Amino acid sequence: MKELKISPFEKEITEGLMAPQKKLSSKYFYDEEGDRLFQEIMKLKEYYLPEAELEILKEKAAAIAEDLSCKSLDILELGAGDGSKSVFFLENLIRLGKEVKYVPLDISENILRINKQNMAERLPEMEIEPHTGDYFQTMKVMGDQLNTKLVMFMGSNIGNYKEAAAIEFLRLIYENLHFGDYFMMGVDLRKNPKTILAAYNDSKGVTKAFNLNLLKRINRELGADFDLDSFDHYPFYDPVSGTTFSYLVSLKNQTVHFESGTQIPFKKNELIHTEVSKKYSLKEIEGLGRQAGFSFVSHHLDARDYFSVSLFQKSSNSSNGH
C-alpha cells in the first residue's frame, strides 16, 4: 500500500491536536468560507472593533497625515483583508496631498482579489501591488519599496499574540524598516468586560460558525471526519490580563480520523484552543512599540475610547515621541 505524504498543513494540524492542550492556529480560519463568515462578523452589532477603527481612519486621517512628515508614501498593510476600511484612510491621505502606493499583504489570495477590486473602484489612479503569503513570507517585500514606508497592522491583530511574541513580531517589522519609516497599528483597548465578551459570543452564532468552519476545512482538505454537531464554541475574557480566549469544546468522547490514517481521540469536554485576543491600555501600547525599538508618535481614538490607531516611527532616538 502506498504511503500517503503528509502536507505541512496536516503536520501542523495533527501536531496541535496531539498536544497536551489541543490547539489549532487561527491563521487557518481564512479559507473562502472563513473569509465570508469573518466579513459577516465584521458587520455584527456586538463586534464593535471595525466600526471603531473605521471611525478613526475616516475622522482622524488628517491628524495622522500631519504626523507623517513626508509627501510620498509606500503603504504596506499586513493582513490587509478586503481593504474596506483602509480605502477610506488611503482616500483621505491622497485628498490631503500624499502620493500613495498601496501594497496589501495577506495569506488569502481570495481576499486580496476582493481588496484589489475595491481599491480599483474607489482609487483607480493609485498604484497597487498585492502579495500573498503569511507575514513572514511577505515581510521581505518591505525592503523592495523605494519611498518612505508606512506599515499598517490593523484590526487589533496584534492582540492575537501573547505579549512576548507581540514584541518579537514588532521587532521583526522594525528590523525590516529603514530609519524614518513609520509603523501604525489598530489596537483594541481595555473596556467593560461584558462589551468585550459579547464581541466574541454574538447572539446570531456567527462567531461560533466561524470557529467550527475550521473543522469543516480540515474535513475537506485533509479527509478528516469531524462531526461539527459534536463540538461547541466557548469564549471567555479575563479582565485582569486583558485577554480573550476562544475554544472549541468536544461534547462527547470521540475519535476523529484523517485520510492519512492519523486518529485523534477527544474526551468529553476536552478543549481545542483556537485563538487569543489581548486588549491593551494606551500605556501598554506605547510599551510594546518601545520594547521593539520604535519611537512613539501618537494615539488616535474613536469617540467612545474603545479603540486606538497608534503611530510609531523607526528613528535614531527611540526615546523620542509625544
2 within a domain of the structure (yes/no): no
CATH number assigned to the domain comprising residue 309:
3.40.50.150
In angstroms, rounded to a whole number, what is the distance separating the alpha carbons of residues 246 and 235?
A: 4
Q: Is residue 321 situated within a structural domain?
A: no
CB-based contacts of 156: which residues, under 8 Å, 6+ apart? Answer: 49, 53, 186, 187, 188, 277, 279, 307
User: What pLDDT, on a 0 to 100 scale, did the predictor assign at position 318?
Assistant: 52
Assess whether 180 and 292 both reside in one domain. Answer: yes
Q: How far is CA 64 from CA 92, 100, 136, 296, 299, in A?
A: 10, 14, 27, 13, 9
Inside any domain, residue 73: yes
Residues 117, 232: one domain? Answer: no
> Do 222 and 95 fall within a single domain?
no
Do residue 206 and residue 297 come from a single domain? no
Is 247 in the same domain as 104? Answer: no
The H-or-E segment that residue 174 falls in is: helix 163-175
CA distance 35 to 283: 33
d(CA 82, CA 26): 18
In this structure, are 224 and 209 located in the same domain? yes
DSSP string, 2-45: PPPPPPHHHHHHHHHHHSSS-B--GGGG-SHHHHHHHHHHHT-S
Same domain, 131 and 150: yes
Per the domain annotation, does 289 fall within a domain? yes
pLDDT at 4: 56
Q: Do the domain assignments include residue 85?
A: yes
- Is 271 contained in some domain? yes
Indicate the DSSP class of residue 55. Answer: H
- Give pLDDT, residue 287: 97
Do 265 and 292 reside in the same domain of the chain?
A: no
Residues 36 and 110 in one domain: no
Q: Report yes or no on 3 lying in a domain.
A: no
The pLDDT assigned to 321 comes to: 42
For the chain, what is the domain count?
2
Q: Which one-letter amino acid corresponds to residue 9?
A: F
Would you say residue 1 lies in a domain?
no
User: How far out from the chain centre does Cα 74 lie?
Assistant: 20
Nearest to 313 by CA among 80, 162, 292, 57: 292
Q: How far apart are CA 20 and CA 26, in angstroms?
A: 18
Strand stretches in the chain, DSSP E: 72-78, 99-106, 127-128, 131-132, 148-153, 182-188, 231-238, 243-250, 254-257, 263-266, 271-278, 295-301, 307-313
Residues 188 and 99 in one domain: yes
The whole domain housing 307 covers: 49-192+281-313
Task: Please state, in angstroms and as integers, the Cα–Cα distance from residue 218 to each residue in 17, 28, 30, 214, following that order.
Answer: 12, 9, 12, 6
Statement to judge: residues 130 and 216 lie in one domain: no
Q: Please give the pLDDT value at position 247.
A: 98
Q: Which residues of the chain have pLDDT under 50?
A: 1-2, 319-322
Same-domain check for residues 132 and 225: no
